[in-house]
Structures are given as structure tokens and as C-alpha cells.
Amino acid sequence: MPEKNQQFDFLHDYIMQVLSACGYNDLSEDLKKEYVPQFVAHAETRIGAALLPFLKEAGAKEMAGLLKNEKAAPDDWANFWAKNVPSYQETVKKTLEDFAVELKQILADIKK
């Protein structure tokens, strides 16, 4: 079983909001189980790609320690990113907004 990535736990709710805004709030549990984790994984990848360039060597070492810590909580990750990326909140917000636009377009194309 894959490890649960707690640093981006909020993404599941965010993806569900985007799906709801696109008229997909009545997805079956089977479809949610199939697609929501994929959308979350894409969002995580995009956030990581947006944040990693800001890390300096000390931040990268600290991140490695957090990744090894199975007990690292979402707050630990939020504090880490806020400390190491001055524009953390803005970067995550912009990345998710861009992702939501693309996701909405994909979902609109599916509905056609």
C-alpha cells in the first residue's frame, strides 16, 4: 500500500470542490476512488515542481529529514515550506488556480 502523503492532505477537498464546480458532484464512489487520487497526484506534482526551485541546500536537507519522518504532520510540512519558500502561500495558490483551469477544461471536454 502506498504511503499517504500528509503534506498535501488538503488537495483531496480542493479537487472535490473543482469537480463540484464543474457539475461532477454526483460521481459514484467507484469513480471518485479511481479519478480523485490521480487528480490529487497531478496537483501534488505541480506544487512540488513550483516549490522545489526555491529550496537552498539546507532546505533540501531538512526536506529529506521530513520525508523520512513517518510522523511528520501536515503542519510540519506547512511550516517547512513557509520557512523555506518566502512566497509559499502565493505559489501554491497560483499553482492550484492554474491546475483548476486546466482540470475544468478537461472536464468540459469530457462532457461534450
- What is the per-residue pLDDT across 11-20, written as a single tens digit (0 to 9) for each? 988 999 998 8
Neighbours of 30 (CB within 10 A): 8
pTM of the model: 0.80
Secondary structure (3-state) at 27: coil
What is the DSSP track for 60-72?
HHHHHHHHH-TT-
Distance CA 77, CA 98 (A): 22
Query: Which residues in the chain show pLDDT less than 70?
Result: 1-9, 111-112
| CA quadruple 99, 103, 106, 108: dihedral sign | negative
Distance CA 87, CA 52 (A): 12
